[in-house]
Amino acid sequence: MPSLSEIKQFNSTHTPSVNKAVGVFFGGTSGIGKETAYMFAQKFDRPTVFIVGRSEEAGSQIVADLNRLNARATFIKSDLSQMKEVLRVSEIVKNDTSKINLLFLSQGILSTAGRTETAEGIDLRMALNYYGRWLAVKELAPLVQKAYNDGDKDNARVVSVLAPGNEGPYQENDISYETSSLWPIRTGTSRNSLLRQCCDSPEFTLICPSSMPIQAMLLPESPENCPGT
């Protein structure tokens, strides 16, 4: 495995050649999603970027930053814990673009509370970390496949950032996490890892990396080095 400095060196010199790159960032208003969106905008020539999240303030600021970096950026305000919202956002994206080079999923919250139901009757963490992410993959994977088919073979990718390596047991008789007292992020992580393994291998890349090494690679040592500041 290459070292962190080798990865940083490669990234700083690598210039991908993609015509009109498109990136979609569910959970792009902060953290790993936001930083990846900035890097995406810096790497490609006049890319299209969709930022999805609840915070209008953060979303507007990021769109302004990305536009300064020469991207065509749009903020879609959405509560992604609602599956109907995941479908609505997917429709907006599909109506605007026919291909996606990077579908980046990092929406989520860290919380140790027990089951917290959304209006749709799903546990909040499971909705964000598991159901909503795979629903977005189901809806938008054809556009990633289109990017691959049209020649962007090295830049057709789905990335779902959570916490592999932190899987925990889950109860098969409590698949919707109604009575289990297990920590939901561990359960969600287990399900993500299992589903990733069960997925028919698509031609494009589908990876579920851990948030912590990514944070180490992406987040600047000091705030003034951050592309968004």
Ligand X SMILES: NC(=O)c1ccc[n+]([C@@H]2O[C@H](COP(=O)([O-])OP(=O)(O)OC[C@H]3O[C@@H](n4cnc5c(N)ncnc54)[C@H](OP(=O)(O)O)[C@@H]3O)[C@@H](O)[C@H]2O)c1
Residues that bind ligand X (CB under 6 A): 27-33, 53-55, 58, 78-81, 106-110, 128-129, 161-163, 211-212, 215
Residue 151 C-beta: closest distance to ligand X, Å: 30
> HSE of 183 in the Cβ direction (CA atoms, 13 Å)?
11
How is residue 38 written in tokens? 């900035």
Least distance in angstroms from the C-beta of 148 to ligand X:
25
CB of 79 to ligand X, least distance (A): 5
Q: CA torsion, points 48, 212, 15, 62, in degrees to nearest 10?
A: 30
Between CA 64 and CA 38 the distance in angstroms is 11
Residue (114 or 151) nearer to ligand X, CB: 114
Q: How near is the Cβ of 160 to ligand X at its closest, in Å?
A: 9
Nearer to ligand X by Cβ, of 172 and 221: the residue is: 221
Question: Can you give the three-state secondary structure of 75-98, one letter per residue?
Answer: EEECCCCCHHHHHHHHHHHHHHCC
Q: Which is nearer to ligand X, 64 or 109 (CB)?
A: 109
Contacts of 220 (CB under 8 A, 6+ apart): 226
Q: Which CB sits closer to ligand X, 116 or 145?
A: 116
